[in-house]
Chains A and B, each alone.
Chain A
C-alpha cells in the first residue's frame, strides 16, 4: 500500500489528511512504529485513529488515559468471580484439584483490556492510546515494552507476543512533557490548525448538507477568529459544530448583521473571557477581514 492509496482511503473514511500525515501513517505501517500525534485540543488527533481503523478495515481498541489509570484497566485483570465459581464447581463435582490448580491462572480466566486486546487480536488492529499526557510516568514506563517489543508480560503466564502487529496511535495535548524514551519509540507528528483550503475541504466533506457559500464564509471567519488573542482557540471540531448549528437555522450564508448569529458563537468561544472579548464591533471587523483574506486566497468572490 502506498501513500496515495492511504490518502484516498482516509478520504473515504471522511478524514482529509495532509501529505505528511499520510506519509507518517504509511511509515507506521511499513516499519511498525507507533505514531505520536501532538497538538491543540480539537485539531483531529483522535479522529486520525478512527479514520485509520475505518480506512484499513481494522478493529479499533481505544484506551482513554486518565490520572488514576492502572494496569487492571489498561492491560489485563484476572476474572476472580469466574475463578471462584470454577473452584466451587470443582469442589461440588469432586474433580481433579491438581488440574484445577494448573488451569486457574490460564488465559481462560484473563479479562483482556485494550492493550492486551490489541496485542492478541488475530487480525491487525488499530490501538488508540488517547491523551497519554494525562497518565503518570509509571504507566508511561510500562508502555515502553508494549510499544517497543509489541509484547506484554503477565507474571503468571509469561510473555505474550503480538500475534499481529497493531498500528499504535498515541495522542497528546502537550500538557506534560513525555519522556524521551517514549518519544524515541514513536514517529512524531505535530498536528496544527489546518490551512484554509484544507479546512474548507474537511467541512465540505463532513457537513455536506451545508451551502458552499456558508462554508466559505464560516471557515474564513473562524480563521480570522484564531488570530485573536483567545484563551481557547477554536479547533476543527468547533468549526464543524458551529457550521452544523448554522445549518439547522437554514442559513445559506452568514448574516450580514453579526447580532443575528452572535448567539451561536458559544460553539466557538468556550471561556467567559473569550466571549466577553469578542464584542459586536470585533465580529464586524472579523467578517470584513475574513472576506478580504478569502479573496486573496482565492476561496471567496469579491462583492459586486
Chain B
C-alpha cells in the first residue's frame, strides 16, 4: 500500500493529487504558499514516493506552522491518502474533501440567499400582497423545521457551556490593545527613542578617544496596568460564578490578570487559571466548595489589599497602586457592616486604582453596603450575556484615559499661561 501513495490516487496525474491535497490542507486552515508547494514537490523528487511515512514527516515539517497544525497533520494525511483506512470511523466519512472553509461557506450562503430571494421574488409575481407578507414573516420564525436559537452573544450566562467560553477572548482582547501603558521610573536603551542618555554616551565615547560618535538613546519603560479580578463564589452567585470564572480565565490569559475567589475567605487562584484542564477546574471547585457561612465582602477586600503585596512565591512585591484596575464580580450581598465595606473600597481607591463592580443583576446591587460605597466605585456594569462585555471595555477605557485627558488639559492651560 505504501508504494502506491500517488499512483493509486491518480495514476495519470500525480501532481494533480498533490495539489488537491494542498487544497485540502488549506481548507483545514494551513497556510501553504508557492514556496511550500515547491518544497513539497522537491521532497517528492528527492526522497522518492516509495516511503509514505517519510513523505508524511517531510510534508508535515513544511506545511505545519504551529503546535496545533503539527498535531493535526498526521490525521489529515491519513484521511486524504488512505480514506479506506479511516472509513467508518469518527475521523472521516471517506471523502477526500470534508468541507469548505469559513469564507467559502459564507460566500455560498450569500449566493444561496440571493438565489432564494430571487426565486421568492419570481414566485410572488402576480400573487396577492398577503402571500408576500406571510413569506416575509415566516423568515423570522425559523424554517425547514429548525427552531430559532439566540445567538451566543445574547445567551444568558446560565445557558453557557464550557465550550462556548473561547468566545470570551475575542471580547477581552481589545482591552489589551487599547489600555494606556503605565510609565515606569526606569529607563531602557532604545535606538528609536528621542531622549539622549548623556552619561552612557560619554562613557561609550571613551572607547573612541573621547570623540562622541554614537549617541545612546533611552526611554522610560512602560507596562500595562495590572489587573485584579475578584470573583464572588457564594451561594447567591452559584449560577453565575462558573461563567465569571471563565471570564477571569480569559483575563488571566490575555492580560495576565491576578484572580482571587472569595466568599467567607479570599484565595488566589491565578496559578490554576493559567492551565485549562478538567483537573484544574476540579481544583477550583474544591477551593470554592470549602467555603461556608455568609459572604464577607469587606473582610475579603481588606485581605485582598494585603495579599496583592505578595507575589506568587510569597515574596514581597509592590502592592496595588496608581492606575491598576480591580474588577469585583459580585451581586453585592454582604454580611459585614456596610461602613466596613465602604472603608475597604475606599482604601483600594485611595491607592489610585480603579474599582469596577460587575453584577449579574440588571440593576445596580441594592444592598446597603454597595449603595453607601457608590461614590468610591469607578463604575457598575451588568454582565448578563457576552455582548455586555463590550460595555466593560468601553467603561474601563473611559476611566483609563480620563486622567490622561485631564493631564493634557492641564498642560495646555499651563502652556497658555506661560
- A interface residues, Cβ below 8 angstroms from B: 3, 19-20, 23-24, 27, 30-31, 33, 38, 68, 70, 80-81, 84-85, 88, 174, 180, 183-185, 187-190, 229, 231, 271-273
Report whether B43 and A20 are in contact in the complex, using a CB–CB cutoff of 8 Å: no
Taking the complex as formed, is B271 at the interface, i.e. its CB lies under 8 A from any CB of chain A?
A: yes
Report whether B209 and A81 are in contact in the complex, using a CB–CB cutoff of 8 Å: yes
Report whether A84 and B208 are in contact in the complex, using a CB–CB cutoff of 8 Å: yes
Q: Beyond the given A27-B62, A80-B213, A187-B61, could you list 13 further A-B residue pairs with CB under 8 A, ordered by the A residue number?
A: A20-B61, A24-B58, A24-B61, A31-B43, A38-B66, A68-B189, A80-B211, A88-B209, A183-B65, A184-B31, A184-B65, A190-B67, A190-B71
Report whether A23 and B54 are in contact in the complex, using a CB–CB cutoff of 8 Å: yes
Contact of A30 among B46, B70, B188, B279 (CB under 8 A): B46
Report whether B275 and A229 are in contact in the complex, using a CB–CB cutoff of 8 Å: yes
Report whether A188 and B70 are in contact in the complex, using a CB–CB cutoff of 8 Å: yes
A88 to B283, CA, bound (A): 72
**Distance from A137 Cβ to chain B, minimum over Cβ atoms (Å):** 13
**Distance from A90 Cβ to chain B, minimum over Cβ atoms (Å):** 15
**Distance from A269 Cβ to chain B, minimum over Cβ atoms (Å):** 13
Contact of B208 among A80, A183, A187 (CB under 8 A): A80
Taking the complex as formed, is B312 at the interface, i.e. its CB lies under 8 A from any CB of chain A?
A: yes
Report whether B61 and A27 are in contact in the complex, using a CB–CB cutoff of 8 Å: yes
- B interface residues, Cβ below 8 angstroms from A: 31, 33, 35-36, 39, 42-43, 46, 54, 57-58, 60-62, 64-67, 69-71, 188-191, 207-209, 211, 213-214, 271, 274-275, 277, 279-280, 283, 312-314
Task: List the B side residues contacting A174 at CB < 8 Å.
Answer: 67
Report whether B277 and A229 are in contact in the complex, using a CB–CB cutoff of 8 Å: yes
Report whether A19 and B57 are in contact in the complex, using a CB–CB cutoff of 8 Å: yes
A24 to B190, CA, bound (A): 37
Report whether A81 and B67 are in contact in the complex, using a CB–CB cutoff of 8 Å: no
Task: List the A side residues contacting B207 at CB < 8 Å.
Answer: 80-81
Task: List the A side residues contacting B31 at CB < 8 Å.
Answer: 180, 184
A-B contact count (CB 8 A): 83
Task: List the B side residues contacting A189 at CB < 8 Å.
Answer: 61, 70
**Distance from A243 Cβ to chain B, minimum over Cβ atoms (Å):** 26
A174 to B209, CA, bound (A): 44
Task: List the B side residues contacting A3 at CB < 8 Å.
Answer: 54
A36 to B366, CA, bound (A): 57
Known: A229-B280, A273-B271. A187 touches B62 (CB 8 A): yes
Task: List the B side residues contacting A70 at CB < 8 Å.
Answer: 191
Task: List the B side residues contacting A38 at CB < 8 Å.
Answer: 66-67
Report whether B58 and A84 are in contact in the complex, using a CB–CB cutoff of 8 Å: no
Task: List the A side residues contacting B54 at CB < 8 Å.
Answer: 3, 23
Contact of B214 among A80, A180, A272, A273 (CB under 8 A): A80
Task: List the B side residues contacting A184 at CB < 8 Å.
Answer: 31, 33, 35-36, 65
**Distance from B170 Cβ to chain A, minimum over Cβ atoms (Å):** 15
Which B residue sits closest to A273, measured CB to CB? Answer: B271
Report whether B58 and A272 are in contact in the complex, using a CB–CB cutoff of 8 Å: no
Contact of B39 among A33, A231, A271, A272 (CB under 8 A): A33
Which A residue sits closest to B53, measured CB to CB? Answer: A19
Report whether B42 and A31 are in contact in the complex, using a CB–CB cutoff of 8 Å: yes
Most chain B beta-carbon neighbours within 10 Å: one of A84, A174, A271:
A84
Task: List the B side residues contacting A20 at CB < 8 Å.
Answer: 57, 60-61
Shortest Cβ-Cβ A-B pairs, 9 listed? A183-B65, A190-B70, A187-B61, A20-B57, A272-B313, A23-B57, A80-B208, A24-B61, A80-B213
Task: List the B side residues contacting A187 at CB < 8 Å.
Answer: 61-62
Task: List the B side residues contacting A272 at CB < 8 Å.
Answer: 312-314
A84 to B209, CA, bound (A): 8
Most chain A beta-carbon neighbours within 10 Å: one of B46, B62, B188:
B62
Which B residue sits closest to A27, measured CB to CB? Answer: B58
A24 to B58, CA, bound (A): 7
Report whether A273 and B58 are in contact in the complex, using a CB–CB cutoff of 8 Å: no
**Distance from A214 Cβ to chain B, minimum over Cβ atoms (Å):** 30
A271 to B213, CA, bound (A): 46
A272 to B46, CA, bound (A): 51
Task: List the B side residues contacting A24 at CB < 8 Å.
Answer: 57-58, 61
Which A residue sits closest to B205, measured CB to CB? Answer: A80
Report whether A180 and B60 are in contact in the complex, using a CB–CB cutoff of 8 Å: no
A24 to B275, CA, bound (A): 31
Task: List the B side residues contacting A30 at CB < 8 Å.
Answer: 42, 46
Contact of A188 among B61, B188, B277, B283 (CB under 8 A): B61
A183 to B64, CA, bound (A): 9
**Distance from A19 Cβ to chain B, minimum over Cβ atoms (Å):** 7
**Distance from B184 Cβ to chain A, minimum over Cβ atoms (Å):** 14
Which A residue sits closest to B56, measured CB to CB? Answer: A20
**Distance from B74 Cβ to chain A, minimum over Cβ atoms (Å):** 10
**Distance from B279 Cβ to chain A, minimum over Cβ atoms (Å):** 5
Task: List the A side residues contacting B313 at CB < 8 Å.
Answer: 271-272
**Distance from A221 Cβ to chain B, minimum over Cβ atoms (Å):** 20
Task: List the A side residues contacting B71 at CB < 8 Å.
Answer: 190
Report whether B188 and A68 are in contact in the complex, using a CB–CB cutoff of 8 Å: yes
Report whether B190 and A68 are in contact in the complex, using a CB–CB cutoff of 8 Å: yes
Most chain B beta-carbon neighbours within 10 Å: one of A3, A20, A38:
A20
Which A residue sits closest to B46, measured CB to CB? Answer: A30
Task: List the A side residues contacting B36 at CB < 8 Å.
Answer: 184
Task: List the B side residues contacting A23 at CB < 8 Å.
Answer: 54, 57-58, 61
**Distance from B1 Cβ to chain A, minimum over Cβ atoms (Å):** 20
**Distance from B284 Cβ to chain A, minimum over Cβ atoms (Å):** 12
Task: List the B side residues contacting A180 at CB < 8 Å.
Answer: 31, 65
12 cross-chain CB contacts under 8 A: A24-B57, A30-B42, A38-B66, A80-B207, A80-B211, A81-B207, A81-B209, A174-B67, A185-B35, A189-B61, A190-B64, A231-B271
Task: List the B side residues contacting A85 at CB < 8 Å.
Answer: 209
Task: List the A side residues contacting B46 at CB < 8 Å.
Answer: 30-31
A179 to B208, CA, bound (A): 39
A10 to B13, CA, bound (A): 38
Task: List the A side residues contacting B275 at CB < 8 Å.
Answer: 229
Report whether A31 and B39 are in contact in the complex, using a CB–CB cutoff of 8 Å: yes
Task: List the A side residues contacting B58 at CB < 8 Å.
Answer: 23-24, 27
Which B residue sits closest to A28, measured CB to CB? Answer: B61
Which B residue sits closest to A77, measured CB to CB? Answer: B214
